[in-house]
Amino acid sequence: MSALSNYAEKALLDSLLGTAAFSEPANVYVGLFTVSDSSGATLENLEAGTLTNEISGNGYSRQVATFDAVTSGVGSTSNSGNLTFTASGGDWGEITTVAVMDAATSGNVLAYGSLTANKTIADGDSFQISTGNLTITLA
């Protein structure tokens, strides 16, 4: 993924430096996003925590994600199981971006990034991120 959100950066620094406690979410979820114009505003909005352009309707819902534990000194982790979104009940449009969230609806953006290749989801299509293909890295 390309970045942590401002929310996650603040929570991580506050927790590491002992200035505020961070309550980890019981589950994390992956959401799918489109870009409605050529400006790429979705990435900027996700960084700020604004949920602009998330898919909605037509059977869409965020999927619970699990990640492998970080190996000492590596600073990255990947999804430990397939993330399969249910078949769409209508066109979802062109998926360009994914985000890891702390709630099934609304909530906070934790990390986000652009897909390597955009994927158009038409009526009846499904979207899947295979095991190990969603990586979060702290550098």
Q: Could you give the number of structural domains in the chain?
A: 1
Neighbours of 117 (CB within 10 A): 7
pTM of the model: 0.90
Query: What's the pLDDT score for residue 49?
Result: 76
Asked if residue 129 has pLDDT above 90, the reply is: yes
Q: Is the distance from CB of 84 to CB of 32 less than 8 angstroms?
A: no
pLDDT tens per residue, range 26-72: 999 999 999 755 555 677 788 877 778 899 999 999 999 999 998 87
- Give the C-alpha separation, 112 to 43, whole Å: 7
Query: What's the pLDDT score for residue 39?
Result: 57
The residue with greater pLDDT, 71 or 131, is 131
Query: What's the pLDDT score for residue 87?
Result: 96
Asked if residue 128 has pLDDT above 90, the reply is: yes
- Give the C-alpha separation, 81 to 99, whole Å: 16
Q: 48: which 2 tokens?
A: 């700020």
What average pLDDT is seen over the chain? 90
Query: What's the pLDDT score for residue 56?
Result: 94
Which domain does 52 fall in, by range? 3-137
